[in-house]
Structure 1
Amino acid sequence: MTKKEDQFDGMLLALAQQHEGGVKDLVMSKFKKHEANALAKAASDKAERVEQERRRKERLEKKRKEEQAEEEKINNDSRIVELTDEQAVKLQEEIDNKKLVKDTAVAGPSGDHIEHSKDVEDKNDDSKDDNADEEEEDEKEKNKLKPNSGNGADMPNYRWTQTLGEVE
């Protein structure tokens, strides 16, 4: 150190020595004061981190439960179920009844006349009806993607396939 820096050291040391308990007690009291502040801040930071972690776990648990419920719903809706012959006949009758109700709702009040004309058309020319069905299917199928060899799809940016095991 240079002479200028040392010129006040003696004077400051003399003042510190006159302090009750000496220099060490003075320094220790300042450290204890700042230590208490630092401990309080550390405790509050820790409590805040614990609270954030608790909220994060709650969000993850809620998200997991939602995903599980959605997956369960999808599994229940898209599960492949084997039916007995009686169940298959019953299901087919229900489907036919729904189609019949739908057709009569579309026909309106003069549904009998429309159904009668359908019967006449069926008797007159079955081949025209088959052609009409094929054209209808072609119209529906026109905008749909054809499945690839792996029962999936080929898109511009990716390709996917699936197996029966994956479907179940």
Structure 2
Amino acid sequence: MADRLLTGDIAPDFTLKDASGQDVSLAAGNGGSNGSTIIYFYPAASTPGCTKQACDFRDSLASFTSAGYRVLGVSPDPVRKLAAFTAHEALTFPVLSDEDHAVAEAYGAWGEKKNYGKTYQGLIRSTIVVDAGGKVVLAQYNVRATGHVAKLRRDLNLDD
């Protein structure tokens, strides 16, 4: 597992497939007026917590984009599962397939987890905000699915 990213670190660049099979890169096409990107890592599409979190991002997307942020969701799910998830939940931002979890590892979002007394390697629910220059401005690990988007909005001073 890679070390967790800290504020000021250079975010690893990546290119992953979105739900429609198109390549999406961190560096290419940083959206928004300030060119910042919110990358959130989630364990599995179409599970209750991940669906809640994705829908919270969808429902807050206008606030993020008007403040100059683009949102990218990243999971180890295959493209076909992400396509179904995107369609079913009417997601309006890219969700990306990181099947070999190389990007999650590079971002420190893959590592040891414990569940019901078992220890295993898996995706650690995390959110990283990267500015237009590629630097990490916020890194949050072990976030909760429910309430995380509202907390992120507060942390980025986007509350209305």
Tell me if both proteins adopt one fold, taking TM over 0.5 as the criterion.
no
Higher relative contact order (CA 8 A, sep 6+): 2
Question: Structure 1 or 2: larger strand share?
Answer: 2
The structure with the larger Rg is 1
TM-score under structure 2 length normalisation: 0.19
TM-score under structure 1 length normalisation: 0.18
Question: Structure 1 or 2: larger helix share?
Answer: 1
